[in-house]
Amino acid sequence: MSSELAVQCRGVEKAFGNGGGKVLALRGVDLDVGYGKMTLLVGPSGCGKTTLLSVIAGLLNSTAGQVTVLGEEIERLPGRQQILFRRKNLGFVFQQYNLLPALTAAENGAVPLLAAGVSRRKAIGEARRLLSTLGMSDRVDALPKQLSGGEQQRVALTRALIHQPRLLVCDEPTAALDADTGQAVMELLAAEAVRPERAVIVVTHDNRIFGFADTMARMDDGRVVSVESEPYFQSQQVFVPHHEVRQEVRA
């Protein structure tokens, strides 16, 4: 695998079920994800985007093919090593949020640092800082049941970013957000993506964020059917265009 690639998929297949009920969700996917890049996975509902994201993240095992993530074929790692690899190197933002109901927003955001042995004071402080950048300074002590869907999404993003993962995978990170909050979220993701040792993969239907992409991989029927570099879709876009954000981040 090239040292410039954070993720490499070759001939990846994923089947669910057996016999007559077998469904092939991924049908020989080839995909390269470079370091220092934001890659968007786009396509119609049911085309395999979230399944591919889950395979890359090591949450699902592929049925066939090869997946290399940060230089490791994580499916070949023993179970405990897989867990440690994901904990250290990956950040996840999924639509379900999966927040712990008994913990506050700040405590939920701090979970990866607490799991890594960081002191509670330092971990909670960092979570509060990140939440404040996302407009949540007055909600850091709220429980998940007291938060709106968009606020829960921002807590999930804080949890994904707080340990500075080398690979960040996001499933519809702006779906529940208004334009201003979506802008703040995408600026955070862009700041992560431009770092040379990191990469960001985003599944989205939100054409407002297309301009943030370095690479856009279009999927259909379980396959990557095209890959475009630095696309610009300004006609329907609300958020700040890709090149303006990147100039601000690198300044």
Check residue 28 and give its pLDDT: 96
Q: Would you say residue 14 lies in a domain?
A: yes
Higher per-residue pLDDT: 241 or 239: 239
Q: Would you say residue 178 lies in a domain?
A: yes
Q: Would you say residue 155 lies in a domain?
A: no
Q: Is the pLDDT of residue 24 over 90?
A: yes
Check residue 233 and give its pLDDT: 44
Q: Is the pLDDT of residue 148 over 50?
A: yes
Check residue 246 and give its pLDDT: 45
Which CATH number characterizes residue 22's domain?
Answer: 3.40.50.300
Q: Is the pLDDT of residue 250 over 50?
A: no
Q: Would you say residue 143 lies in a domain?
A: no
Number of domains present in the structure of the chain: 1
Check residue 114 and give its pLDDT: 94
Higher per-residue pLDDT: 90 or 236: 90
Q: Is the pLDDT of residue 150 over 90?
A: no
Q: How far is residue 15's CA from residue 64's CA, in Å, rounded to a whole number?
A: 9
Query: 56-93: per-residue pLDDT in tens?
Result: 999 999 999 999 999 999 899 988 899 899 989 999 98
Check residue 243 and give its pLDDT: 43
Q: Would you say residue 126 lies in a domain?
A: no
Q: Would you say residue 130 lies in a domain?
A: no
Check residue 2 and give its pLDDT: 53
Query: 162-215: per-residue pLDDT in tens?
Result: 999 999 999 998 887 888 888 888 888 888 888 899 999 999 988 888 889 999
Check residue 3 and give its pLDDT: 64
Check residue 239 and give its pLDDT: 56
Q: Is the pLDDT of residue 245 over 50?
A: no
Check residue 22 and give its pLDDT: 87
Check residue 201 and give its pLDDT: 96
Higher per-residue pLDDT: 16 or 238: 16
Higher per-residue pLDDT: 22 or 27: 27
Q: Is the pLDDT of residue 226 over 60?
A: yes
Query: 91-146: per-residue pLDDT in tens?
Result: 998 878 889 999 999 999 999 999 989 999 999 999 999 999 888 999 999 999 99
Q: Would you say residue 124 lies in a domain?
A: no
**Average of per-residue pLDDT across 11-30:** 92
Show the domain range for 65. 5-98+166-250
Q: Would you say residue 128 lies in a domain?
A: no
